[in-house]
Structure 1
Amino acid sequence: MEKQIINPWKWQDGRSYVQAVEVKQSQSILYCSGQAAVHADGQSSTADMRAQLIESIQNLEKVITEAGYTCNDIVRLNVYTTSTAELFTCFDVFQAWIAKHNIKQATTLLEVKSLFETLTVELEATVVK
């Protein structure tokens, strides 16, 4: 697979995303459903935003690795949250995870009225290898 990052500007670098990712000669594509802080027993988390973000990341990693991909293969990551203001108080968690895996992804962040049950953040990824 060949990935090319398209960034006409520099300002997005501090926000942990890129403007576009072009993928050529890929072997396969994994479309992940939104991953949220749902425990292994199917119970939705009632924890705060930081804890839910951490668990959402862990759940997304589990799906990606069990499918035989790596987090570095993420090319698109949509973030849904019930409060962007609250999410930004723990955005360091997101940015550290992006840096740890050297992910260069196109991202859309959306504030929504609600998510399933008690959930406050959900991550939806497209992964290519």
Structure 2
Amino acid sequence: MQKRPLNPFDWHEADDQGMLVEGFKRMVFVSGQCAMSNDGRPQHPGDMRAQTLLSLENVAAVLAEAGMDLSNVVHLNTHVTDVDLFRAEAAEAMAERLAEYGVRPPGVLSGTTRLGLPELIVELEAIAVG
């Protein structure tokens, strides 16, 4: 499999603007993952950084079920209840964690008024290829 970042513009700071992927055999679509424990309880109420990192670990757990890891992610959408708080407290930590796997996946950062449970403030959804 070959992945090539597509970056025609200089203004993106944390992610690639596109990703050309060729020669893969499998795709995994990861549904929205939040800061939930293994038994389905929300974790880290009000802590944007901790919720973001646990949400990312939950994405990694889903990928592991398919024999993949975060290096296989080619698209990552981030939904938060407070975009400014995410940028101030969690964006850099998430980018650093993804950099450990050599990825800067394109995606969307969107603000929403509420997620599925009132304690949740971050939700991540991903596409991975392998």
Query: What's the TM-score, normalizing by structure 2?
Result: 0.91
Pairing of 1:1-129 with structure 2 (within 5 A): 1-12=1-12, 15-45=13-43, 46-90=45-89, 91-117=91-117, 118-129=119-130
User: Residue 74 of structure 2 contacts residue 127 of structure 2 at CA under 8 Å; is this kept in 1?
Assistant: yes
> What SS class does the counterpart of residue 34 from structure 1 fall into?
strand
Q: Which runs of 4+ in 1 moved over 4 A?
A: none
Identity percentage of aligned residues: 30
Over residues 34-56 of structure 1, what are the superposed CA-to-partner deviations in whole Å (9 max), with x where a residue is unaligned? 11001111112224111111211
Q: Distance in 2 between matches of 1:11 and 1:126?
A: 24
Q: Does the CA contact (< 8 Å) of 2:95 and 2:104 recur in 1?
A: no
Question: How many corresponding residue pairs?
Answer: 127
Cα separation, 1, equivalents of 2:102 and 2:33: 20
Q: Mean alpha-carbon deviation: is it higher for 28-37 or for 63-72?
A: 63-72
Indicate conservation of the 8 Å contact 1:72/1:104, yes or no: no
Partners of 1:28 and 1:94 in 2: CA distance: 25
Aligned in 2, Cα 1:104/1:51: closer, same or farther, shift over 3 Å? closer
Structure 2, unmatched stretches of 5+, are none
Does the 8 Å CA contact 2:51/2:121 hold for their aligned counterparts? yes
RMSD: 1.2
